[in-house]
């Protein structure tokens, strides 16, 4: 029989943005399309993994062969991911909002004649990746992403440490790169061992190659 590289492995993937409410009709979000995260979930499933995708709101359909948990906020995403432990690997691709409004207004905030615009007090969201990277049930392989617009590699190295990740997939999301919402990506895989530079390719190709690398790593860790 053909070798199924990720047979018997369970992998959690996060994808998309998180959406943080201000009041019942307004929210703070970001430009993440979910394309890269969804492509990775699909690629892992094609290699035979049981994939649990925790996704923020995206216009992408659920990937084939993947069970999807739909969430909105960072806190919902964190709860969903932690409830899925233990897993063999975690690939955190979601663009999680760093901050949320401290309090969500129960009613739509009204414009008052003559009044100053409201001031939004923000508080920090939990770091889901760091929570998983330092968790008592830490997966054997923890992969994070680093969407940067400057100092890509220095920031990725810091992130490895701080978040307890094995690999950080660093990508340039400056406007000029066209990565956010686009179909192509140029990534570098930063690990303790060094940096692997991958050529510019489609997000599907990045996903396939990353899934292959994950399968290889899980085999090595096991033997």
**How many residues sit in the footprint of ligand C5P (CB under 6 A)?**
15
d(CA 176, CA 125): 28
Q: Of 131, 113, 16, 145, whose CA–CA distance to 73 is shortest? A: 16
Whichever of 33 and 125 has its CB closer to ligand C5P, that residue is 125
Q: Is 74 in the site for ligand C5P (CB under 6 A)?
A: yes
Whichever of 65 and 126 has its CB closer to ligand C5P, that residue is 126
- By CB under 6 A, name the one of 43, 44, 58, 94 that touches ligand C5P: 94
Q: Is 110 one of the annotated binding-site residues? A: no
- By CB under 6 A, name the one of 127, 166, 172, 204 that touches ligand C5P: 127
Q: Of 41, 61, 38, whose CA–CA distance to 51 is shortest? A: 41
To the nearest 10 degrees (0 to 180), the angle between helices 203-222 and 35-46 is 50
Q: Is 145 one of the annotated binding-site residues? A: yes
- By CB under 6 A, name the one of 96, 187, 206, 211 that touches ligand C5P: 96
Cβ atoms of 173 and 187 closer than 8 Å: no
Cβ atoms of 6 and 215 closer than 8 Å: yes
Q: Which residues have a Cβ under 8 Å from the Cβ of 203 and sit 6 or more positions away? A: 35, 36, 39, 183, 184, 185
Cβ atoms of 171 and 186 closer than 8 Å: yes
Q: Both tokens of residue 10?
A: 């369970």
54-62, 124-132, 180-188, 214-222 -> range binding ligand C5P (CB under 6 A):
124-132
- One symbol per residue from 33 to 62: x for binding ligand C5P (CB under 6 A), - otherwise; what is it? ------------------------------
Whichever of 50 and 125 has its CB closer to ligand C5P, that residue is 125
Task: State the residues that interact with ligand C5P by CB under 6 A.
Answer: 14, 74, 92-94, 96, 125-129, 144-146, 159
């Amino acid at each position: 029989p053909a070798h199924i590289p990720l047979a018997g492995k369970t992998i959690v993937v996060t994808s998309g943005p998180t959406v943080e409410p201000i009041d019942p009709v307004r929210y703070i979000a970001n430009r993440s399309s979910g394309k890269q995260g969804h492509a990775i979930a699909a690629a892992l499933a094609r290699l035979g993994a049981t994939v649990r995708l925790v996704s923020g709101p995206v216009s992408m359909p659920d990937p084939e062969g993947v069970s999807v948990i739909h969430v909105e906020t960072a806190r919902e995403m964190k709860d969903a991911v932690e409830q899925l432990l233990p897993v063999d690997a975690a690939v955190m691709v979601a663009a999680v909002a760093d901050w949320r409004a401290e309090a969500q207004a129960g009613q739509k905030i009204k414009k008052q004649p003559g009044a100053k615009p409201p001031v939004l007090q923000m508080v920090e969201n939990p770091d889901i990746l760091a929570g998983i990277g330092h968790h008592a049930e830490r997966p054997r392989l923890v992969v994070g992403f680093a969407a940067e617009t400057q100092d890509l590699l220095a920031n990725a190295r810091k992130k490895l440490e701080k978040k307890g990740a094995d690999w950080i997939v660093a990508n340039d999301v400056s406007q000029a790169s066209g990565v956010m919402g686009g179909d192509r990506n140029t990534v570098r895989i930063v690990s303790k061992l060094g940096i692997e530079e991958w050529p510019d390719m489609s997000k599907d190709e990045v996903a396939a190659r990353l899934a292959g690398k994950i399968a290889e790593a899980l085999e090595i860790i096991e033997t």
